[in-house]
Structure 1
Amino acid sequence: MCADFTRIRRFLDERDPPTPCLVVDTDVVGARAAEFRAAFPGALIRYAVKANPAPPVLDALVAAGIGFDVAGPAEVARCLERGAEPAGLAYGNPIKKPRDIAFAHDRGVREFTSDAATDVDHLGRYAPGCAVSIRVVLDAPDSVTPFGRKFGCDPAEALDLVLRAAALGLRPGIAFHVGSQQPALGAWEIGIATAAKLFAEAGAQGVGMTRLNLGGGFATAHRTGVPSLAAYAATIESALGTHFPDGRPELLLEPGRVLVADAGLLRTEVVLVADRGERRWVYLDIGRYNGLAEAENEAIAYRFEPVETPAGPAGPVVLAGPTCDGDDVLYRRTPYELPLSLRAGDRLDLPGTGAYTASYASVEFNGIEPLRTYCLGKWGDA
């Protein structure tokens, strides 16, 4: 899908809301969901709520027939309030308290992910008979924002947990996640091959599995290109045919940014421009603490587009946020150029920022309010 921000920019120009602000087109969210479902026919699609939990976004996805990957009780409650079916919720966070499991199970959630023996035991007690996908860690290329070793267990431990879950009366499957914003198609090949081996080993010990959770990680373009959704789907289809020749498992996918990033555009205002010798420093009213957390380590390099047509040439800049924290520097190593005529009060647009912006913003660091979000379209509230 080619992102078109015309309607969002028209709204911003006509309404001129205070900056910084994020505007999301819910019609684009719905269209992207339909495209994703078409790419993976028959798969269970569970949107990662953490990417953008705005109620109109959830409304658009409920209408599109998408389920939800929830990470805690608050997300469970929010999705159910928006009309999601409990059977369409998957509790994908392996880190959860027993009371969180019980909360979700009491409200009809029957799909969980786990990667530790204690958590599997808690599921056996507080969510009896549920489906549990054991998350395995992969020896795969790092994504743009990798998880490291925080989640997932080694394959040998994963097999032990599968057997443990089955002994507790749970319905085990396998899960993996290639990392957020993953451009390497081969990562899915590695994950599916790892899962197939575990399916065979569990089967040899009398435990049959039918569910494979592929997680998320589907990348969206910012300043550099990424594989198309069709390319991701083709890679997954080929790997399933190779590694599950005798019958494919039921697939569950947990897309996040790929459904909402290109539905959103963030507008920011220049607060200050200062010549620091090496380069100009451009300070914005958006920074790492009020919307651009994914700029940490300069991992996600957003596009910055002047709203007003600039006059004259451009030059190199360092981009920084508005707070008094020295870590609130967005891009110093990543090369950026902006018009030499740029001044305080000028505005910049950041397209493709519908994911992991408002949901990452702090509540009141330096007294800055959370990032304002306006939603347009059929399910919009603006």
Structure 2
Amino acid sequence: MRKEQYNFPLEDLISEDDFEKVKKFAKDKETPFLVIDLAKVGKMYDELIENMPFVKVYYAIKANPLDEVILTLKNKGSNFDAATVYEIDHLLRLGVQPERISYGNTIKKEKDVAYAYQKGVRLFVTDSESDLRKIAKNAPGSRVFFRLLTESDGADWPLSRKFGAHPDVVFELIILAQELGLEPYGLSFHVGSQQRDIGQWDNALSKCKYLFEAVALHGIKLKMINLGGGFPAKYLSPANELSTYAHEILRFIKEDFGDDHPEIIIEPGRSLVADAGIIVTEVIMISKKSKLNQYKWVYLDIGKFGGLIETLEECIKYPIYSERKGYEEEAILAGPTCDSMDILYEDHKYVFPDAMEEGERLYVFTTGAYTQSYCSVAFNGIPPLKAYVM
């Protein structure tokens, strides 16, 4: 016998009053679109500082570069991690001082290093000799930190392999940086986005400890560790609370460095803005591929190319809510485009009321990060995902 079943309790993500506000705000707007609650962005920043008062925050603006989001965090006191000169210009346009900006991409054109330096940026990351020499030539005397290669086991969205270098390479880069007239400032790593295994920070910090001691023997005192991002948002699969992450990470730091630990930087993106976003989408079509097919296909007016690219390989599983009531029915979810890759969830089956109809709206929660900034410009002529703040 079938039972009523839903993917999650709505109250775990939003209060009834706040959900009614979102629906009222969204009522006259054409789907799909993203709604960002700026108050929640500010609340998440406050919660992060409350739990991790020992860190300096550099918000990774690639997660959500809306002006209103950046200004909210700027006014809270956040610093910013920029990956390109375009993001640097964006921050400067909004009045962010260059000393609050880190050029946090290890892959940089020589002219872009020069441009950032000319604009006043003095903090750069690196993981290769080629990039380090570009910085020395075009940003003389700048502070540099060195990205370590780490594994992303336990992360929903892994970030290993492309960025970072082995400790023996980083050791040589630190020595070379000083010879080139730069300031070897610290180390960085990223354990993967939406990292559920808190122990990955412990593994990375042990590498930092080794390098701090190794370069100290050569007269170089590193001053900073950048823990990257990876802190949780509320997707379908549960993660530990932020307070647990904070407590354990501080314990790891103290075990390796004692109470007199280096300056600690973090680069949160997802954890600051994901929970503040809701995508409102419409069911375009419901169909079956054959009479005996077990599952319906539900096609939405948003897909991989419209902002949900993190459903690639079903890595990120968003809470998706229908207001309909009824018996459970598993379905395959797909987007609206003519690309056969545009299937959101096929292996993981979402459960919807069997009475759901075409033309209804669904609400995709925890979509404030990496949705609008990832969407295509005009695939199939579909315009980029609209975003509103409330």
Question: Which bracket does the TM-score occupy, shorter chain normalised?
Answer: over 0.9
Which residue in the other structure is 1:13 paired with? Answer: 24
Output one character per residue of 1:15-73: Cα deviation in whole Å (capped at 9) or x when no partner.
42110000001111111111112222242210000000000001100110001100001
Counterpart amino acid of residue 129 in structure 2: A
Matched, 1:196 2:209: yes
- TM-aligned CA deviation for residue 229 of structure 1: 1.1
Distance 1:8 1:201 in 2: 54
SS of the aligned residue for 1:358 comes to coil
- TM-aligned CA deviation for residue 142 of structure 1: 4.0
- TM-aligned CA deviation for residue 12 of structure 1: 3.5
Matched, 1:325 2:307: no
CA contact under 8 A between 2:329 and 2:351: conserved in structure 1? yes
- TM-aligned CA deviation for residue 247 of structure 1: 2.8
Matched, 1:286 2:302: yes
Distance 1:78 1:236 in 2: 32
Distance 2:173 2:143 in 1: 13
Which residue in the other structure is 1:187 paired with? Answer: 200
- TM-aligned CA deviation for residue 6 of structure 1: 4.2
Counterpart amino acid of residue 210 in structure 1: K
Distance 1:212 1:148 in 2: 18
CA contact under 8 A between 1:135 and 1:152: conserved in structure 2? yes
Distance 1:359 1:140 in 2: 23
Distance 2:325 2:16 in 1: 23
Match runs of 1:146-185 below 5 Å: 146-172=158-184, 173-185=186-198
Which residue in the other structure is 2:8 paired with? Answer: none
- TM-aligned CA deviation for residue 140 of structure 1: 5.5
Distance 2:118 2:78 in 1: 22
Matched, 1:228 2:244: no
- TM-aligned CA deviation for residue 5 of structure 1: 7.5
Counterpart amino acid of residue 323 in structure 1: T
Distance 2:369 2:386 in 1: 14
> What TM-score, normalized to structure 2?
0.93
- TM-aligned CA deviation for residue 364 of structure 1: 0.2
SS of the aligned residue for 2:53 comes to coil
Distance 1:11 1:208 in 2: 51
Structure 1 residues 337 and 246, CA, compared in 2 at 3 Å: closer, same or farther? closer
CA contact under 8 A between 2:154 and 2:196: conserved in structure 1? no
- TM-aligned CA deviation for residue 278 of structure 1: 3.0
Which residue in the other structure is 1:297 paired with? Answer: 313
CA contact under 8 A between 2:40 and 2:276: conserved in structure 1? yes
Counterpart amino acid of residue 207 in structure 1: I
Counterpart amino acid of residue 107 in structure 2: I
Structure 1 residues 3 and 45, CA, compared in 2 at 3 Å: closer, same or farther? farther
CA contact under 8 A between 1:296 and 1:330: conserved in structure 2? yes
> How many matched pairs?
374
Which residue in the other structure is 1:380 paired with? Answer: none
1:240 corresponds to which of 253, 257, 261: 253
1:73 corresponds to which of 71, 85, 107: 85
Matched, 1:373 2:384: no
Distance 2:357 2:245 in 1: 42
SS of the aligned residue for 2:236 comes to coil
Counterpart amino acid of residue 220 in structure 1: A
Distance 2:164 2:334 in 1: 35
SS of the aligned residue for 1:95 comes to coil
Distance 1:227 1:159 in 2: 34
Distance 1:132 1:4 in 2: 44
**Which runs of 5 or more residues in structure 1 are unaligned?**
377-382
Matched, 1:124 2:128: no
Structure 1 residues 299 and 65, CA, compared in 2 at 3 Å: closer, same or farther? same
Which has the higher mean CA deviation after the structures are superposed, 254-263 or 33-42? 33-42
- TM-aligned CA deviation for residue 4 of structure 1: 4.4
Structure 1 residues 340 and 59, CA, compared in 2 at 3 Å: closer, same or farther? same
- TM-aligned CA deviation for residue 176 of structure 1: 0.6
SS of the aligned residue for 1:181 comes to strand
Counterpart amino acid of residue 304 in structure 1: I
Matched, 1:102 2:118: no
1:211 corresponds to which of 224, 227, 233: 224
Distance 1:168 1:346 in 2: 62
Which has the higher mean CA deviation after the structures are superposed, 48-57 or 12-21? 12-21
Counterpart amino acid of residue 200 in structure 1: E
Output one character per residue of 1:260-296: Cα deviation in whole Å (capped at 9) or x when no partner.
0111111100000001213100000010000101000
Distance 2:162 2:263 in 1: 26
- TM-aligned CA deviation for residue 171 of structure 1: 1.6
Structure 1 residues 305 and 192, CA, compared in 2 at 3 Å: closer, same or farther? same
Which residue in the other structure is 1:250 paired with? Answer: 263
CA contact under 8 A between 2:152 and 2:192: conserved in structure 1? no
CA contact under 8 A between 1:319 and 1:332: conserved in structure 2? yes
Which residue in the other structure is 2:124 paired with? Answer: 112
CA contact under 8 A between 1:178 and 1:188: conserved in structure 2? yes
Matched, 1:55 2:55: no
CA contact under 8 A between 1:70 and 1:89: conserved in structure 2? yes
Distance 1:134 1:257 in 2: 23
- TM-aligned CA deviation for residue 373 of structure 1: 0.1
Across the aligned residues of Structure 1 and Structure 2, the Cα RMSD in angstroms comes to: 1.5
Which has the higher mean CA deviation after the structures are superposed, 11-20 or 180-189? 11-20
